[in-house]
Each structure stands twice: as structure tokens, then as C-alpha cells.
């Protein structure tokens, strides 16, 4: 693809960065076709084609859609764009989840649904993208422009002549809302929505009246005013003051450490964070939600800091440090293990995407995380004490007890074999549940992708997200770990994976219920109806596309299934149903569940 964003190829983002130009430059999105070969009355000078070109220019080459009568003409014009492919999904929720997964890899994603019945269905997925700071462009086919303000009642509404219900719902889960019901400001509204999504790294909502998508307008010719994003920069005085205060604090510390948080992604600061780790020699950990954002093959990487369920020896080093840098942290009840972290504010330097707080004291605003780390790395005093302490106390983890022949497979044994599958050509998607904890313990090779939805934690997210992620990076083999309860929520879009020739390996963890909820608070509602999952996927396959399914109950069967999936069936979608005992969980989930339950069960404060 020839479209450029600044000096970057828009067809594939690097490290999820779609629109970051070189320092001091202005990011411009320009069409590579020289001159305008399109007349005002041309079918290519329509609102729909303009929107399609803008999506491609921003980095979207696949849209995830569910057709409805209000968006059909719009879809005609979107799919007429040669560089934009339509991925038809089974329902709007999965279309939203797919756009979420796509954005995690490409840096931006898009879904297209119909008015209200489609918009409210996709709303949950957009809320999840908002919580995870993902720029997802949610496009809705809206009512005919002539119906606005007429007091008419339309289908796909709640029966009131007020068309704003959907818009009001999207207000709190998007950073910008554009209702395009006239052509005069359509160009401006669309450009503003897309640029806001990219700048804020949050979802946006665009409603297009159904009768406007096919309408030509002078502003929709191929050479309109270039679409540009002015780069943000730090306040120089604030940056200098923040660096000075931080150096003064860190250089007095005996054993400082640094911990990566999930907002490294939105700050586009992963490289700068690693640069600081290289320069400082500090021990480097990640919060659970930041796994995959920094290289785990770094010589000073010590694992996941997750309080009582951390990687062995990691929490001891972090919590005993006399100074810790947290880069883009979110300390919610899940990441803090029910608010049980043993951290002290007076020891912490909290670096957020646009501000820095030093030791529970002064906060420096208008300071960009990436610039802060870059400047800090130039002057920080090297101190490897914390890592040396870690190296002294570290004891390699043992292997699980070997399974005997025909002994039921155990989850710890299973993930020993999963570890061997990982490479730079794979990516891991972990569904909400015990997969969070088991996948968290995997050591990621350089270049291996990793995604999960920790802040929002919506069960079923991973099916759609796997679809979107795999579509964004077809060169990688995605390994998805999905619990049976979660799979029952969104299973249909395995169909879409097959339809688009994806070669994902899905490990369906069949343990008979909502295991993560059992460990928080058990009850009969956590037991689900068992399905014949492989038969279901075979029925969805229906002889169209490449698909292979199997059930495994024993270690030898798992080994054979992995061998088949990675060799003979390497070009097929592989579905491996793993039968596990209902009480076979990671020890981390047991500990985490009891602490989260205690946090949930706190009595009311005295009145």
C-alpha cells in the first residue's frame, strides 16, 4: 500500500503506533494517487467512498460489520474501496471485539453496524475498548436525514420520535461523537472523529444517515485538504523539572526498580522504557495488564509484579525496594489483588502518559512519558543492586509431576507444553478466567504477541478479539486460550475465522463452569451446561474452509494434538478441546480469588 502517515507506512503499525511521527514533524495522511482523477459527480466522490479512503489512510484495511437496512448502502461504498476488506461477523458484539483485537495490533480498528439495535449491541465491546485505551472507530448507519426533527417513529428504535438514545449511550464510552446527517460538514466531522480517536487512543462514534452514503459532494474528491495530526510534546520547563526531581530521588536510592504498566501502550513509550532499563541497570518487571508491552528476554527482566500472585521472587524485590518507577499503572482491585499490594506512595514515582508524580509529592504536568524516560536515561546513575539481589535469591521453578499413562491431564502440565509452542511467529490471546493466570506465567520470546482484557474483563471477549488480531497480523499464528463458559457467549464467530482462512489454534479449556467466579464466590450459577464443543465447531465448519478439531484428556493426546496442529494442520484453523477437572486451577487463581472475594465482601462503613 502506498498511503503514508508522515514517514510511516500506514498499512502496518509498529508497536501499535499508527500515527506517531518523528520528533518535531507533523503527521500527514496523504493519498499517493497523483492529482485528482475524480469528478464531483463520480461514484468515487461520495461520502461513503471518502470514509473508506480515510479508514485506509489511518491504517484500517479490514472492517468488521453486521449488515442492517440503515447501513447497506454505506457498506456498498466501503467495500468498493479496493484496499478495504469487509469481514462480516455473526453479531455486533463480536464485530466490536474484533475491532478491539485488530486495534491492539494495527493501532486502530473499525466496525460497522446498524442504527440502535446494532449500536446498542456493540456498545459493550466499545466500552471495553474505551477501558483499554484502544482507538476503535464505531460506524453506525443512521436514519434518513429527512427524518430528523420530524417527530416520526422509526423501526429499530424504542418507539419514541427521539433518535438520540443510541448517541446518549455512546457519550460515556467514546471520546468523540459525530452525527452526519448533512453533507456540508460531513467531511469535517468524519476527519475530526478519526483524528480524535488516533490522538486520544479511545473509541469514537460516527453515525452516517442512510441516504447520504451514496451522495457525491465537492469535498469528497480525492484531493481534499490533507488529513494531519500535530504531534504532542512536553512543556520543556516541566520536563526539565520532572527529570531533576526524579534524578534527585532515584540517585539517593539503594535498590530502585522499575515496573511497566498498561498505559505504556497509549503513551507509545515501550521503547523509551526499555532504553531507561538499559541505562539504569534497574530490575524490570511488568504489571499483569502490561504483559507483552516490554521484551521478556531483557537481561534485567524479573517477571510479573502482581502482589501475592507475582512471578516467584518478583514481588519480594519490588516491594522491598526503596524506590520504584511505575510507568502507566492502573491500580484497580484486580491488578492490586483486592487492594493488598505492599507499596508505599512515598517510595513511588508514578509516570502517567502526560504527567509525573515523585514520591507522593509534587506532580509535573504536560510531561510526555516517552520524552521523560528518554531524558532520564541520559542522566540516570546506573544501579544494579535490585537485580543483583534478585539474582541471589532466585531459584528456578521446578517442573510439574509427570502425568502417568491415562492419568487425567493437569493444567500445569498442559502449559509446560504450550511454552514450547511460542516463538516470534506466534501471539497469545488469553480469555478472562484461569487463562489469565496460566498465560501470565508463559515466558514470551522476542516478537511473540500477547493480549488480554484485564481492565474490563468481559467474558467472551477473546473469540472476537482473536478474529480481529489474526486478521491484522496474518503472518502470526494466534494461540487462543478460552474457557468453556466464555466460549458459550461468543462462539459463533469461529465461523468468521473459517470464512477468512485464519489458521488460529484455539485451546478450549473445558472444566465445566466459570472457574474464576467459583474461586471468588461459588454457587450453582457457576455450573454451565456442557457442550460437545468439537462437534459444534465441526458443524460450523460444514466442509467449508480448513478446520481440524480434537478432544484431549491425557498428556500424550495433548502432545500429539500440538504436533498435528503445528505440522500437518499448520494451514488450518485448529480447535483443541482440553478436558480438565473442574477444580484443577492455577495456585495463583486460588490466592487471587480469595483476596478479591475479601475486597468484594467488605462491610459498609459505619454511618
Helices 186-200, 47-58: crossing angle, 10 deg rounding = 20
The phi, psi pair for 131, rounded to 5°, reads -65, -25
- Cell 523539572 locates to 241
> Which residues are CB-contacts of 240 (< 8 A; sequence separation ≥ 6)?
none
69 is in an annotated binding site: no
CA-nearest of 76, 28, 201 to 130 is 201
The x, y and z cell numbers of residue 407, run together, are 492419568
Beta bridge partners of 506: 480, 575
Q: State how far the Cα of 400 lies from the Cα of 533, in Å rounded to an integer.
A: 28
Q: CA–CA separation, 456 vs 128, rounded Å?
A: 5
Residue 138 to residue 204: CA distance in whole angstroms: 6
For 79-149, list the strands marked E by DSSP: 85-88, 109-114, 136-142
Whether the CB-CB separation of 459 and 505 falls below 8 Å is answered with no
Cα–Cα distance measured from residue 307 to residue 316, given in angstroms and rounded to the nearest whole number: 9
- Is 2 annotated to bind a ligand? Reply is no
Q: Are 193 and 178 in contact (CB under 8 A)?
A: yes
510 labeled binding residue? no
User: Which residues does 288 contact at the CB level (< 8 Å), separation at least 6?
Assistant: 304, 306, 335, 436, 440, 454
Per-position b or e across 417-452, b if 16+ CB within 10 A of its CB? ebeebbeeebbbbbbbbbbbbbbbbbebeeebbbbb
**Run of H or E residues at 150:** none
Please give the full DSSP string across 253-315, using - where no structure is assigned.
-SS-EEEE-TTHHHHT-HHHHHHHHHHH--EEEE-GGGTTSS-TTSTTEEEE--GGGSSTTHH
Nearest alpha carbon to residue 163 among 140, 138, 130: 140
Using a 10 angstrom Cβ sphere, with 0-12 exposed, 13-18 middle and 19 or more buried, the burial of residue 11 is middle
Binding residues for Mg(2+): 484, 511, 513
Binding residues: 484, 511, 513
Amino acid at each position: 500500500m502506498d498511503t503514508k502517515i508522515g514517514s510511516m507506512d500506514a498499512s502496518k503499525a509498529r508497536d501499535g503506533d499508527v500515527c506517531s511521527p518523528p520528533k518535531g514533524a507533523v503527521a500527514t495522511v496523504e493519498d499517493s494517487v497523483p492529482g485528482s482523477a475524480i469528478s464531483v459527480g463520480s461514484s468515487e466522490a461520495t461520502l461513503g467512498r471518502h470514509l473508506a479512503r480515510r479508514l485506509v489512510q489511518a491504517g484500517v484495511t479490514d472492517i468488521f460489520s453486521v449488515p442492517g437496512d440503515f447501513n447497506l448502502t454505506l457498506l456498498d461504498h466501503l467495500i468498493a474501496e479496493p484496499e478495504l476488506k469487509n469481514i462480516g461477523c455473526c453479531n455486533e458484539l463480536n464485530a466490536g471485539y474484533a475491532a478491539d483485537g485488530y486495534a491492539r495490533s494495527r493501532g486502530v480498528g473499525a466496525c460497522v453496524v446498524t442504527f440502535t439495535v446494532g449500536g446498542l449491541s456493540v456498545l459493550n465491546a466499545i466500552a471495553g475498548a474505551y477501558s483499554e485505551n484502544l482507538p476503535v472507530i464505531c460506524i453506525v448507519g443512521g436514519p434518513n436525514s429527512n427524518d430528523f426533527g420530524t417527530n416520526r417513529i422509526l423501526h429499530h428504535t424504542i418507539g419514541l420520535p427521539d433518535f438520540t438514545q443510541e448517541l446518549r449511550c455512546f457519550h460515556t464510552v467514546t471520546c468523540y461523537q459525530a452525527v452526519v446527517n448533512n453533507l456540508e460538514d460531513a467531511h469535517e466531522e468524519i476527519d475530526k472523529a478519526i483524528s480524535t480517536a488516533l490522538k486520544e487512543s479511545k473509541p469514537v462514534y460516527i453515525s452516517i444517515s442512510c441516504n447520504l452514503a451514496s451522495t457525491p459532494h465537492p469535498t469528497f474528491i480525492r484531493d481534499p485538504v490533507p488529513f494531519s495530526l500535530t504531534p504532542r510534546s512536553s512543556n520543556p520547563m516541566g520536563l526539565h523539572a520532572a527529570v531533576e526531581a526524579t534524578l534527585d530521588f532515584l540517585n539517593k536510592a539503594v535498590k530502585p526498580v522499575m515496573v511497566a504498566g498498561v498505559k505504556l501502550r497509549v503513551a507509545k513509550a515501550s521503547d523509551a522504557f526499555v532504553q531507561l532499563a538499559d541505562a539504569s541497570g534497574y530490575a524490570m518487571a511488568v504489571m499483569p495488564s502490561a504483559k507483552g508491552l516490554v521484551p521478556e528476554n531483557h537481561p534485567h527482566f524479573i517477571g510479573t509484579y502482581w502482589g501475592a500472585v507475582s512471578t516467584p521472587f518478583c514481588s519480594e524485590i519490588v516491594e522491598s525496594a526503596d524506590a520504584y518507577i511505575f510507568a502507566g499503572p492502573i491500580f484497580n482491585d484486580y491488578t492490586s489483588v483486592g487492594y493488598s499490594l505492599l507499596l508505599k506512595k512515598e517510595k513511588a514515582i508514578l509516570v502517567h502518559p502526560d504527567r509525573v508524580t515523585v514520591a507522593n509529592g509534587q506532580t509535573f504536568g504536560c510531561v510526555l512519558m516517552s520524552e521523560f524516560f528518554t531524558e532520564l536515561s541520559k542522566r540516570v546513575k546506573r544501579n544494579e543492586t535490585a537485580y543483583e539481589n534478585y539474582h541471589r535469591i532466585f531459584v528456578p521453578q521446578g517442573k510439574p509431576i509427570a502425568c502417568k499413562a491415562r492419568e487425567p491431564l493437569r493444567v500445569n502440565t498442559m502449559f509446560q507444553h504450550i511454552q514450547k509452542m511460542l516463538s516470534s511467529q506466534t501471539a497469545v490471546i488469553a480469555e478472562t478466567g484461569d487463562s489469565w493466570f496460566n498465560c501470565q506465567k508463559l515466558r514470551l520470546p522476542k516478537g511473540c504477541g500477547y493480549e488480554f482484557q484485564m481492565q474490563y474483563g468481559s467474558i467472551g471477549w477473546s473469540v472476537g478479539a482473536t478474529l480481529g488480531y489474526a486478521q491484522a497480523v496474518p503472518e502470526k499464528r494466534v494461540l487462543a486460550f478460552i474457557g468453556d463458559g466464555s466460549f458459550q457467549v461468543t462462539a459463533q464467530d469461529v465461523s468468521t475465522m473459517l470464512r477468512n482462512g485464519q489458521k488460529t489454534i484455539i485451546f478450549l479449556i473445558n472444566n465445566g463452569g466459570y472457574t474464576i467466579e467459583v474461586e471468588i464466590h461459588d454457587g450453582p450459577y457457576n455450573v454451565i451446561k456442557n457442550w460437545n464443543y468439537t462437534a459444534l465447531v465441526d458443524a460450523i465448519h460444514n466442509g467449508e474452509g480448513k478446520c481440524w478439531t480434537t478432544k484431549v484428556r491425557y498428556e500424550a493426546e495433548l502432545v500429539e494434538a500440538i504436533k498435528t496442529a503445528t505440522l500437518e494442520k499448520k494451514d488450518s484453523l485448529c480447535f483443541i478441546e482440553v478436558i480438565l477437572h473442574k477444580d484443577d486451577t492455577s495456585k495463583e487463581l486460588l490466592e487471587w480469588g480469595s483476596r478479591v472475594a475479601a475486597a468484594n465482601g467488605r462491610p459498609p462503613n459505619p454511618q
